[in-house]
Structure 1
Amino acid sequence: MRLVQLSDIHFGGENKEAVEAATAWIRDARPDLVVVAGDLTLDGKTPEFDAAAAWLKRLPDPMIVVPGNHDTPFVGPRELFERFTRTWGRFKDRFGDEDGAAWRAPGVTVSSLNTARAAQVRWNWSKGAVSRGQIRRVVRELEAAPAGDLRVVVCHHPLMEVLGGPMTAKVHGGVDAANHFVQAGADVILSGHIHLPFVTAVPFGDGKTQAIGSGTLSHRERGAAPGFNVIEVEPGCVRVQALAYEHGKFNAWRTWACDRRSPNENGAA
C-alpha cells in the first residue's frame, strides 16, 4: 500500500512550480490514499480556499483532509468576525467536517483529529491543542481496527516536540494524546506544521509508533526544499521517502525504514 502525505501548501504563498510538479507526480503514482495534513491556505482567505479546493480536485481519490492553524480566517474585519462565529465554515464548505475524517481499506485504518484552534488561553493561538473527547474518539477507532491493520492517525501539529525541529508546536494535551494513541496500537501519526520532513519514534509503549511529518509546498521553507512524503506499507516495515523539489523535479531528500508490529502485538509496553 502506498500513501502520499502532503501538508502546508499555503495557497496564497504556494510554490507554483512545486505544486504543479507534485500534481503530475501524484497522479502518475496513483497512491491508495492521499493525506493532506493541514495549512492548505496562507491567511484563510476565500480565494485561497478556492485555489486549494480546485487543486485537490486534480489529485486522485481517496483523500483525507484536515485543517491547520492557517485555515482559520484571520486577516481583515470580516475574517476576524468569521473566525469566532464560523471558524471552520470555509473549510467545511469545500472539504467536509474539520474533525473526525476517517478511512478504511483492507490492511489500513485511518483516523484524524483537528489540532488547530481559533483562540486559546495563551497568546500564540497558532499552537496546537487536543481535547479529551478527541482522544477518546480516536482511541475507540484505533481499538476497533482489525488485527494486523496499519493504524494511522492524522493531525496538523506534531503531538510532541521534534528534536532539532525549526519551530515548536507546543500542543496542549499532545503528550497525553500520543501516549493514549500508542496504547491503542497506533502505528504512525502523520502531521505537518513545521515545514520539515521527519520520522521519529514516539517514546511510549514498545517504541514502534512513528511520528511522521511532511514538508511544505510553499515558499515558507525551513531547512528543506518544497516537498512531500511517500509512505510504502509492507508486512513488516513502513518505508518513508521525503521528496524534495529541486532543479525542476522531485528527488529523494531522505528515506527511513521502520519496523512494524506483528498482528499479535499492540502498542502497550
Structure 2
Amino acid sequence: MTSKVVRSAAEAVADIADGATIAVGGFGLCGIPDALIGALADTGVGNLEVYSNNCGVDGHGLGILLGLGRIRRVTASYVGENKEFARQYLAGELEVELTPQGTLAERLRAGGAGIAAFFTPAGVGSPVADGGLPWRYRPDGSVAIVSPPKETRVFGDKRYVLEEGITADVALVHAEIGDEFGNLVFDKAAMNFNPLAAMAGRVTIAQVERLVEPGQIDPASVHLPGVFVQRIVETGPQTKQIEKRTTRETAGVQA
C-alpha cells in the first residue's frame, strides 16, 4: 500500500483551484483543519464554495478565507459568532444556504456513501421545504436569489422532504492521530463533522496532530478508514481557540 503522507500543509493544498467546492470539518472552532485552511489562504485561490457546519469566527478557521473575500457560497447550519459572515450575507456579497444541522450531516454522509438523495421530516412545513429562503441579497437589501421548493412525499402518515447528498471536490479535516495509509482517530467532540466531510470529498486531505506507524492504531479504534483519505500531513498539536469567552466578576468574599 502506498503512503499518503505529504510533507507540508502547503504541499497538501497546492493543487486546489479557483472555484473548487470544499467540505470542511469542525464545529465552531472545535476540530477545525486550521493549518490546511491557513495554507489554502496563502495560495490566493478564491471563488470557493464551502460546505461546513458554520464558517468559523472572525480571524479564525474559515473566517480567514471569508475575511479575504475568497468564499463565494456557503452551505451551513448557522452563522455563529462570525460578524463578517453576517455582514457579507446581508450586504449581498455572499450566497448562503442555511440548512438544518442534522440534514447537513446526513447530506454529507449520503454523498460519501453514494446516495444521491434521501427523505427526511426535518424542515417539512417550513421554508426549508416550501422554498423562499433568501440565499443571496442585493446591496439594497432586497432578495436576489431564493431557495426553490423541494419535493415532499408521504410515507405512512407523515410527510417528508427530499434532500440531496453532497459531494465536494476537496475535503479538509482535522484528526488527533493518523497513520501513513490515512486511517484516522478523532479526539472526543472534535469528531463532530470531520468524518462526514471526509466521506464527501473526492480528494480528502487530513491534518493530524500525531502521525504513527501502520499497525499502531488498533483497527477497532479507527474512526475513519483510510479509504476515504487521499493525503495526510502531520501538523503537530493544535492551538485551542475559544469561540466565545464569557466572564463575570467574582463576588467578594464576606468575613
Q: Tell me the TM-score normalized by structure 1.
A: 0.32
Quick check: which has more Rg, 1 or 2?
2
If asked which structure has higher relative contact order (CA below 8 Å, sep 6+), I would say 2
Q: Tell me the TM-score normalized by structure 2.
A: 0.33
